Amino acid sequence: MSFVSGGVAPELRAEFPGLRLQWTQLEARVRASPREVRRRLRELSDRVAGAGVVAMRTQPIPHAYRSFFRHVGLDPDAARIPSEAAAVRRLLDGRFRSRDILQDALLIALIETGVPVWALDGRRVEVDSLVLRAAVGGERLGGAPDGLSLPAGQLVVADAARVHATLFGEPVPEHLPGPGARAIVLYAVAVEGVPAIHVEEALWTATDVLKAG
Q: Does 188 bind another protein (CB under 8 A)?
A: no
Size of the site for another protein (CB under 8 A): 30
Which among 49, 33, 187 has a CA at the least distance from the CA of 125? 187
Q: Give 23's strand partners.
A: 4, 187
> How does 141-172 read in b/e, with b if 16+ C-beta sit within 10 Å?
bbbeeeeeebeeebbbbbbeebbbbbbbeebb
When binding is defined by CB under 8 A, the residue of 27, 36, 75, 128 that contacts another protein is 75
Angle at 140 between CA 145 and CA 160, to 5 degrees: 105
Show the binding pattern over residues 136-155: x = contacts another protein (CB under 8 A), - = does not. Answer: --------------xx-xxx
167 is a site residue for another protein (CB under 8 A)? yes
Taking the least distance from each CB to another protein, the nearer of 119 and 156 is 156
How many residues are present in the chain? Answer: 213
**Does 161 help bind another protein (rule: CB under 8 A)?**
no
Q: Which residue number, 114 or 177, has a Cβ lying nearer to another protein? A: 114
CA distance 20 to 90: 28
**70 makes contact with another protein (CB under 8 A):** yes
Instruction: Out of 1, 32, 49, 79, point to the residue binding another protein (CB under 8 A).
Output: 79
Encoded one letter per residue, x for contact with another protein by CB under 8 A and - for no contact, window 22-61 reads --------------------------------xx-xx---
Task: Give the Å distances, CA to CA, from 57 to 15, 27, 60, 157.
Answer: 24, 35, 8, 25
Does position 118 interact with another protein (CB under 8 A)? The reply is no
Is the Cβ of residue 145 or residue 151 nearer to another protein in the bound state?
151
CA distance linking residue 202 with residue 207, whole number of Å: 9
